[in-house]
């Protein structure tokens, strides 16, 4: 169990004090994958670096299984650090060491005998699927492979906690999914607590059970990923969730104004489904029941989260107002979350 109790961190800068982390309270259960999402500068990295004693909190305590990490020093702190693995956005591998020697570095630091180091490093290479690349240097590997080395290295000393600090942010979408799948696998196989720091809601949806949303040093929302996706409360959370539901944002997603301009008639509604509903033929049902309505699909997305599928669909309904109202009522009976974005 990891507990952040009223943790704050202030920095003194030339322009006065800066509060990077502001009164954070989080509890993370053993064996859980916990996500912390927020934009850069929200204080996520500072918060997790405190777990490792790389930063000291200004106030509050950080409790890992009954030990207040902030009070540890010297040898005790170094011993504690060996129980926490960390993976990074830019991998932070030593270019001067081969794959196997990079993985063996934490073992050397933990004073593991040489023969055992080799054996353990080879096990880890198998675990992360890098057989045959043991003697390559990082510069000969792709981004995804480098992160696999990073993960193997983080797991070398059999930690109980793994911190992933934006570990997929420098990777392309396919590689991101591979790395996330690997994290899921090790979470299940080794019963490892994983803290996933990211600004990508996609990564959270895919692997996390619970999530905390951070903004300007504060945790503004916490809950199960499923709940947060279905009923985001804070504006920033809504923003993260809607970004995730419109993944093609950069190229062809339109803002609400643009949507309204392009589809001036009728009503634009957004349906949010979850679990088994995502697999029901809801749209064709509505079409059958209300044949006079013209329904156009504007955009949509479905995501697999740890608790099931979660989807959103933007529709334009054109036709008689009473028909539209009835259709909305009908959707409610199907227990589909319905939100009217715009009245024509």
Tell me the closest approach of the beta carbon of residue 268 to another protein, in angstroms. 46
Asked if 54 interacts with another protein (CB under 8 A), we say yes
| Residue 334, CB-side half-sphere exposure with 13 Å CA sphere | 26
Asked if 72 interacts with another protein (CB under 8 A), we say no
Q: Which stretch binds another protein (CB under 8 A): 103-111, 120-128, 224-232, 252-260?
A: 103-111
The correct pick among 3, 97, 118, 239 for binding another protein (CB under 8 A) is 97
59-64 vs 2-13, strand pairing mode: antiparallel
Asked if 56 interacts with another protein (CB under 8 A), we say no
Asked if 81 interacts with another protein (CB under 8 A), we say yes
Tell me the closest approach of the beta carbon of residue 146 to another protein, in angstroms. 12
How far apart are alpha carbons 127 and 51 in whole angstroms? Answer: 26
Asked if 71 interacts with another protein (CB under 8 A), we say no
Asked if 222 interacts with another protein (CB under 8 A), we say no
Closest Cα partner for 301 from 276, 258, 267, 271? 271
Asked if 52 interacts with another protein (CB under 8 A), we say yes
The correct pick among 12, 13, 40, 96 for binding another protein (CB under 8 A) is 96
Report which secondary-structure segment, H or E, holds 279: none
The correct pick among 79, 135, 188, 262 for binding another protein (CB under 8 A) is 79
The correct pick among 92, 160, 177, 246 for binding another protein (CB under 8 A) is 92
| Residue 124, CB-side half-sphere exposure with 13 Å CA sphere | 27
The correct pick among 4, 34, 88, 240 for binding another protein (CB under 8 A) is 88
Closest Cα partner for 10 from 59, 52, 69, 53? 59
Tokens of 111: 């004073």
| Residue 321, CB-side half-sphere exposure with 13 Å CA sphere | 2
Tell me the closest approach of the beta carbon of residue 186 to another protein, in angstroms. 18
The correct pick among 56, 109, 297, 340 for binding another protein (CB under 8 A) is 109
Distances (CA, A) of 45 to 82, 86, 113, 208, 312: 19, 12, 33, 17, 31
Q: What is the DSSP track for 285-334?
A: HHHHH-TTSEEEEEEEEEEEETTEEEEEEEEEEES-HHHHHHHHHHHHHT
Sketch the per residue contact string, 278 through 307, with another protein: x for CB under 8 A, - otherwise. Answer: ------------------------------
Q: Which residues here bind another protein, judged by CB under 8 A?
A: 52, 54, 77-82, 84, 86, 88, 90, 92-97, 105-106, 108-110, 137-140, 157
């Amino acid at each position: 169990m990891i507990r952040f109790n009223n943790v704050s961190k202030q920095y003194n800068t030339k322009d006065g004090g800066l509060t990077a982390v502001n009164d954070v309270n989080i509890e993370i259960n053993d064996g859980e994958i916990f996500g912390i999402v927020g934009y850069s500068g929200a204080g996520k990295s500072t918060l997790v670096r405190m777990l490792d004693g790389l930063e000291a909190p200004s106030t509050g305590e950080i409790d890992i299984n009954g030990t207040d990490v902030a009070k540890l020093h010297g040898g005790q702190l170094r011993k504690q650090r060996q129980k926490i693995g960390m993976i990074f956005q830019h991998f932070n591998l030593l270019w001067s060491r081969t794959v196997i020697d990079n993985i063996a570095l934490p073992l050397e630091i933990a004073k593991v005998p040489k023969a055992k180091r080799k054996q353990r490093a080879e096990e880890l290479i198998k675990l992360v699927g890098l057989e045959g690349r043991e003697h390559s240097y990082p510069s000969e590997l792709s981004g995804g492979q480098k992160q696999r080395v990073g993960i193997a290295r983080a797991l070398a000393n059999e930690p109980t906690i793994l911190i992933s600090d934006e570990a997929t942010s420098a990777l392309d979408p396919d590689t991101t999914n591979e790395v996330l799948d690997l994290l899921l696998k090790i979470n299940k196989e080794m019963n490892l607590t994983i803290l996933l720091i990211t600004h990508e809601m996609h990564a959270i949806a895919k692997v996390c059970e619970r999530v905390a949303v951070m903004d300007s040093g504060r945790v503004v929302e916490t809950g199960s990923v499923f709940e947060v996706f279905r009923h985001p409360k804070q504006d920033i959370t809504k923003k993260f969730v809607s970004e995730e539901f419109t993944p093609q944002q950069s190229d062809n997603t339109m803002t609400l104004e643009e949507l309204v301009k392009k589809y001036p008639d009728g009503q634009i509604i957004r349906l949010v489904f979850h679990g088994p509903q995502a697999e029901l033929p809801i749209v064709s049902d509505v079409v059958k029941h209300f044949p006079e309505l013209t329904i156009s699909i504007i955009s949509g997305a479905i995501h697999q989260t740890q608790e099931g599928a979660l989807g959103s669909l933007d529709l334009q309904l054109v036709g008689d107002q009473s028909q539209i109202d009835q259709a909305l009522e009908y959707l409610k009976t199907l227990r589909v979350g319905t939100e009217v974005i715009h009245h024509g």
